[in-house]
A and B are shown apart, each in its own frame.
Chain A
Amino acid sequence: MDTAISVSGVHKHFGRTHALDGLDLSVATGEVHGFLGPNGAGKSTTIRVLLGLLRADSGTATLLGGDPWRDATTLHRRLAYVSGDVTLWPGLSGGEIIDLLGRLRGGLNKARRDELIERFELDPRKKARTYSKGNRQKVGLIAALASDVELLLLDEPTSGLDPLMEAIFQDCIKEEKEGGRTVLLSSHILAEVESLCDRVSIIRNGRTVETGTLSDLRHLTRTSIAAELAVRPTGLDALSGVHDLVVDGHNVKFEVDTHELDAALKAVTSFGVRSLTSQPPTLEELFLRHYEDELNGGRTA
């Protein structure tokens, strides 16, 4: 099987709120898939539909070849889930909860559990009531990562972790990937997404707006060019894909759609280039563009 998760046209309403509005998502087996979008875009709702905790109003969703609602229990043996705000029974110790959740899933790897507790520097004897936010996340992560499962559903799993623990988390996910596991990772930490994810999907208002590899997505955005020229340039504003053009004497600055870069550079060089700086789009710009569009009332998706 080469598709671990396949969601198409899924709708979900909560009263009058349209949480998922025809969402599509496809995650290949063995890949780490980034799942991005502004707060309230529907990421957690999607993951809960995939877990069979919520029932989709319409559309189809397939998880590990099964129906996430109907086959929930059998599918859950093959996956582990960490929420962005791990909730724990206040009277149980961290160690007890890790063991309990592992056993409820069908067993956990004891050696791996002990190794993870050590790596994440968790004190498993403390009662859950006394754990900080970051320590609660660690309990959830250790319980999930210590299970021998095919698929990890991670919903902002590192919220509250310190940078050292964040690095350990990234190492763990890389190991999971080498072991052939599939990971769906919802995250706002762009460095995490950039270093871990093979492909990403960006959703907004319950709908997928972009999906692809990071380099695919970079192509969809703009490169900034600044140049000092031999003569004052003319006609650059007529080129397609050029935006925010500023001509100041012999200096020129503009943004260009990455797929029009070649044509724009040819035009610039015809004025005699004395110096040139080019900045590829950062991931941050890429996402901000998608996130900001929502603030501006959305654009045609």
Chain B
Amino acid sequence: MTALAGTGSLIRLALRRDRWLLPIWLVLFIVIVQSSASAWGALYDTPEERASIISQIGTNPTFKAIYGINYGDTADALFAWRYGATIGVFVALMSLLIVTRHTRAEEESGRLELVSAGVVGRLAPLTSSLIVVFGANLLLAAAVTGILTGAGFETTGSLAFALGLALSGILFATIAGLTAQITESARFANALAGIVLGATYLLRALGDTSEGLGWLSWLSPTGWAARLKPYAGEQWWVAGLFLGVALVVGVVAYVLNLRRDFGAGLVAPRPGPARGAASLGTPLALAWRLQRGLLYGWIGGFVFLGAIFGGVANGVDDIFGANPEMEEIVRKLGQGTLVEVYMDLVMGMVALIVSVYSIQAALRLRSEETGLLAEPVLATAVGRVRWAVSHLVFAVLGPALLLLVGGTVMGLIYGLAIDDVGGQVGTSVRSSLVQLPAVWVLTGFALLLFGFLPRLIAAAWAALVVFVLLGQLGPILELSQGAMDVSPFTHIPKTGGEAFTATPLIWLVGIAAVLCAAGLYGFRRRDLATAG
């Protein structure tokens, strides 16, 4: 097969390029599995505790929407329910990003052209990147099986759980292999694969929460991992679904790859305007052109997210109203009415998602710089601060817009259901916008890195991961308040009831402002990245 010539060399090249990236991803997953597994056993070790959570899952659509359906009543099975879907999404995300990175991104940059002129077959880049990602996923599966078995989990179930993660990764690696053939831009190829991932998650959420629509979950790969039924009478044949679909998607990707020209996608680019519109004359206008696609995509996602959470909110009072014990637990989490508490909880999660957008928007500064696209702008009469602020506007105001959209849609859907649109939109917008200062602290941290340690700008993602882990695992691991306080998200006050206080918000805004100002100051003083 001459089309595969050079695959071995490209595998070594990919491993060399990813010698930090891959281990960091894998270690991150291993740490998450390890720490959640070690905390889980103690949390639900009595049948009463398990019965209580199972009745919650059965009655609360929020749980089903986020985590899926549970299939067993053992602590092991509940662990698989709680972590399978969420970790699976991140494994899929890792896999698709790495495949695009070694296929379309290389092709778009022109580097692959140099490689392809050697003794390298047309299918070698796609094949080698898939082999690397498949290998990483199998390695992850082995490690996760080992960790869970070591933590006292049942062996067969652990294998099924780990396999579910790895198969999600393998399937989405293949899907990214397909989207890489469709568009000329790596950014767009990632976006397409990401949209597929998001859509399958929502499809499963819809299927798992709606009585008559249960079959929808069977259309979604994110639902299949749960239907392997780890620790609950494993259904191994579901693995065949993953492999079958991956095979079909992979064959289509290979056929497209063989038929298309190098550098081309399926869709031929249309010509653009011969002149710049009168409005395209400021750094902000340029930043808008570069950032608008990302923002549009996120707005679409938040309309969907708001609708789902709004729909679920309708059930909250019924569920908890009938269960005084549960009502007590939820009340401990916050103040105000049950729905207000629910909104604060949901928005706390939404705020973490919004942070992803904010960091993405802020990191565009660095990718413009290293792509030598800042240089032509800064060689004109545009000062550094003005240029940096033009992108920062999106990282700062974008999250506000997204939270506003998500909050409004959520309030609207819930308000329509209970005939109180005016009041509910106000409540949910209030609990969404109150999250902003914490998001901005992360934005500010990203900008600080950009100004002073631009090579380490990816540490902004690490900070987000730490905050997510603190929020998710902190209460389970019973971390001290001092540790929890590291995360700005810990300091967001509850909006319901009397206890609301604006003081921490003012502090967070102040910290974010100082971080941003320091970042801009650092950027004014440092050298620009150059190729030479």
Contact = CB atoms under 8 A, between A and B. Distances in A.
A59 interface: no
B287 to A, nearest CB: 11
A58 interface: no
Given A87-B372, A104-B283, A129-B185, A95 B380 contact: no
B373 A54 contact: no
B118 interface: no
Interface stretch (B120-128, B268-276, B338-346, B482-490): B268-276
Interface in A98-147: 98-101, 103-106, 124-127, 129-130, 140
Contact of A74 (B277, B381, B525): B381
B19 interface: no
B208 interface: no
B532 interface: yes
Contacts of A90: 108, 185
B276 A99 contact: yes
A211 interface: no
B261 to A, nearest CB: 12
Interface residues of A, number: 44
B380 A101 contact: yes
A103 B377 CA distance: 10
Summarize A's interface: helix, strand, loop or mixed: mixed
A97 B371 CA distance: 16
B526 to A, nearest CB: 8
Contacts of A76: 379-382
Nearest to A74: B381
A5 to B, nearest CB: 15
Interface string B261-301: 00000000111111111001111011001100000000000
A205 interface: no
B318 interface: no
Interface string B342-385: 00000000000000000000000000000111011111111110
Given A125-B273, A127-B269, A87 B376 contact: yes
A124 B373 contact: no
B276 A53 contact: no
B528 A53 contact: yes
Contacts of B377: 101, 104
Contact of A104 (B274, B382, B526, B530): B382
B76 interface: no
A150 B281 CA distance: 21
Given A100-B286, A129-B269, A48 B530 contact: yes
Nearest to A90: B185
A127 B271 contact: yes
A166 interface: no
B281 A89 contact: no
B531 interface: yes
A73 B289 CA distance: 23
A140 B377 CA distance: 12
Ranked 6 nearest A-B pairs via Cβ: A93-B272, A99-B276, A103-B281, A104-B380, A125-B271, A96-B276
